[in-house]
Amino acid sequence: MSPQEHCYTSFQASINTYTLPERFTFPFYYEPHPLCLLAAKELQQHLNTQTQWQHNFGLGDDQDNIIGKMFGVLVVQNEQNEIGYLSAFSGKLAGSNHLKKFVPPVFDLLQKESFFLSEQAEINQLTTQLNILEKNPNIEKYHTILNAEIKASTQHISAKRIQIIEARKNRKRQRQAAEKDLESHQFLQLKEQLSKESIDAKKQLKELTSYWNKRIEYAQDQLNLLIDPLSDLKQHRKKRSAALQKKIFQQYQFFNIKGDQKSLHHIFIETSQKIPPAGAGECAAPKLLHYAFQWKMKPLAMAEFWWGASPKSEIRQHKNFYAACHGKCKPILKHMLEGMSVDDNPLLINPAQEKIIRIIYEDDVLLVIHKPEDLLSVPGKSIKDSVYQRIKQEYPQATGPLIVHRLDMSTSGLMLIALNKDTHKHLQKQFIKRTIKKRYTALLDGLIKEDKGFIDLPLRVDLEDRPRQLVCYEHGKPAKTQWQVIERKNMKTKVYFYPITGRTHQLRVHAAHVKGLGIPIVGDDLYGTKANRLHLHADFLEFQHPISGQSVYFESPTDF
C-alpha cells in the first residue's frame, strides 16, 4: 500500500449532488464547504468508532491528562480525477506522529534514524552535567564569603568616610579660630599641618579601599573557579540547542502547488517574528496541503474542527470549526497557497456599508448614538469606515478624540461621543473611575441553570492568534462581569451583562469559557458558532452629564 493510498479517503456517501468549489478556502475566515462538512462528519464518525489507538479527549469520565485536538480535512482531486479527502491532526495524537488514515508530519522528529534524537541526547547530557555542577555546595559557600566581604568592605569604607568628613569639619573649625587668634606665621604652620592631615586621610581611604578590593577580588576569583565552567557549559549548550533548532527548521520543507519548496527558517525570516514559534509546521492545515502537493493531488477545500474538551486558557467548542491560526500558520500558508485561486478575504469587505448610525441624544457637547452591528468603532487596518470616520464627517466642527469608549465591531448598541476635548476628558474620567453604569443584553446558545452570578477571569490577547483572547492568571488583566438571566426560551438563554471592567471580548469570553457560563453568545464567530449576527447589544448607559452635573441615562432595546 502506497502512502497515497494509506491517507487518501474516498467518500462513503455519494457526492453526485455536490458542486465542487470554484476556488480554494480562504483559511483564516471561512464557512465550511458542504464537501468539507461531509468529510468532517465521516472523520468524526471514525474518531467515535475506531479502536486502534487511545487518546483522552475529555469526552468521557476520565478527567486526567485531557488533551483536546484540532483536526483538519482537505477535499482533494487525485491524479485519477477522483474526489476524496485527506485527514490530519495537529501535533501528536495518542503519543504518535503516525496513525492510519492521517497524513504524516512534514518532518518526523521522533524517527529512530533522525538526527534529532541523537543530538537531543547529547544536549540532555550537557544538562545533566550542568545540574551536577550547580549542586556543588562550595558554590553557595563562596557566594556567602563573597557577600560577606562586600558587606564588610561597605561598612569599613563607609565608617572611614564618616571619620574623614568629621575630621574635615574639625580642621575647618580650627582654621577659622586660628585665623582670628594666631599670628600669621603660626597660622601658616597650622594650615600646612591641617593640609598634611587631609592628604594622609585621603591616602588612608585609598589604601583601605584597595585592601578591601583585593579581598573581594580574591573571593570572586575563588567563586569564578566554580561558576566559570558552568557559564561556559551553558553557553555551549545554548549554541548546540540553537544549531539543532535551526537544523530542524531547515528540515521542514513546505511545497506549494508550483512545486516550490521553502523551509520554516526561510519562511519566518521574512516576518517580524524572524524565528518560528514552537509547534510551527505541526498544525493540521500545512500538513494537509504539503501532503496533497507531494502526491500531486489538487486541493479543493479545507476545514478544521476541534475535538474534545476545551483547553483551560483558550475557548474551543467540541465539533466547532475554526480558522487557521495567524502566528504559526499564516506565514506558512502564505507560501503554500501561492499560485492557487483562493476565496477573497471576507474580512476586507465592509459589512456595515449600508448600515446607519442612529442619534439617540444630542446637545452642544456630546452625542449618544446607536452603533449598528458590524461597524467598527475606530478605523481598522483594512476597513476605515467606522463610528469615528462617520461622526468626524458629520460633525466637522467637533474637536478632540471623539470616541470615549468602544464597542466590538460585532456588538451593537449605545456609545458616547464627545464633541470637544473637555467633554472627552470629563467622560473618560468617569469610565476610569467606573462610575458609568453599563448594561448589555446577550442571547446565549444554550440553557444555564443559575439565575445570576459573578465572573472573574483575567484576560490577555492570544499572541499567536489575534484578536482572540485567552484566560491567563499569570499575565492577564483583571476582567470582571456580573450577570442575570432575563428569560429561557427555545433552548436559549437571554441574559443581562454588567461589565465591571472593559477588556477586549470580555463578555464573549466570559460567556463561552468553561469557567464562565460555558455557553457562547449566539452568532459568536470567534468563540462559538457563526450566525446572522453576534447577539450582543449595549442597551443601557448611565453617566453624569459634564455640563449639568446631573445623572442621565439612555436605553436602546434589542430586537433579539
Q: What's the length of the chain?
A: 560
Q: Angle, to 10 degrees, between the axis of helix 137-181 and the axis of helix 184-251?
A: 150
* Active site (annotated) includes residue 343: no
The span from the first CA to the last CA of the chain, in angstroms, equals: 55
**Which residues on adjacent β-strands are paired with residue 537?**
412, 441
Tell me the C-alpha distance between 26 and 330, whole Å.
11
Cβ density class 512-535: b for 16+ within 10 Å, e for less: bbeebbebbbbbbbbbbebeebbb
β-pairing, 536-544 vs 412-418, is parallel
Query: Catalytic: which of 228, 385, 408, 465?
Result: 408
Distances (CA, A) of 389 to 195, 339, 364, 416: 77, 37, 19, 15
Cβ density class 350-377: b for 16+ within 10 Å, e for less: bbbeeeebeeeeeeebbbbbbbbbbbbb
Tell me the C-alpha distance between 76 and 81, whole Å.
9
Closest by CA position to 81, among listed 268, 385, 300, 227: 300
Cell of 284: 493540521
**Which residues on adjacent β-strands are paired with residue 502?**
none
Cell of 464: 499567536
Cell of 269: 525570516
Q: Where on the phi/psi map is residue 202: left (φ > 0), alpha (ψ -120 to 50), or beta?
A: alpha
**Which residues on adjacent β-strands are paired with residue 443?**
494
Are 326 and 466 a contacting pair, CB within 8 Å? yes
Closest by CA position to 74, among listed 59, 53, 89, 62: 89
3-state secondary structure of 444: strand
Residues carrying an active site annotation: 408
